[in-house]
């Protein structure tokens, strides 16, 4: 699956995306964020306040408890403001 990063999250990580194959115990967005944080200290620091991280699965906004089953693309980004 492809995990894409946007706004200040992308800037802090220094990359636009990662192609990953999470293990079977990674079942939700929250699990994915935890798993990525375990693998990458920079990711752990950038996502330390999980309440600031929004997510989308295949272009649909989702909560952190949303299952990943069948997801091809995950987008992670900070809260958006209108304007």
Predicted confidence at residue 79, as pLDDT, reads: 81
Residue 81's pLDDT band, with cuts at 50, 70 and 90, is: low
pTM: 0.93
Q: What mean pLDDT is predicted for residues 36-50?
A: 95
- Record the tokens describing residue 23, joined without a space: 């293990």
Which residues does 70 contact at the CB level (< 8 Å), separation at least 6?
Answer: none
**In CATH, which of 3.20.20.70, 3.30.930.10, 3.40.50.10190, 3.10.20.30 is domain 2-77?**
3.10.20.30
Q: Per residue in 2-38, pLDDT tens?
A: 999 999 999 999 999 999 999 999 999 999 999 999 9
The fraction of the chain above a pLDDT of 70, given in percent, is 96
């Amino acid at each position: 699956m492809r995990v894409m990063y946007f706004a200040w999250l992308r800037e802090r990580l220094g990359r636009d995306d990662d192609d990953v194959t999470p293990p079977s115990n990674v079942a939700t967005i929250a699990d994915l964020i935890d798993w990525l944080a375990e693998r990458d200290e920079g990711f752990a620091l950038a996502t330390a306040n999980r309440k600031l991280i929004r997510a989308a699965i295949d272009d649909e906004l989702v909560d952190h408890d949303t299952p990943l089953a069948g997801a091809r693309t995950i987008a992670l980004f900070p809260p958006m403001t209108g304007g």
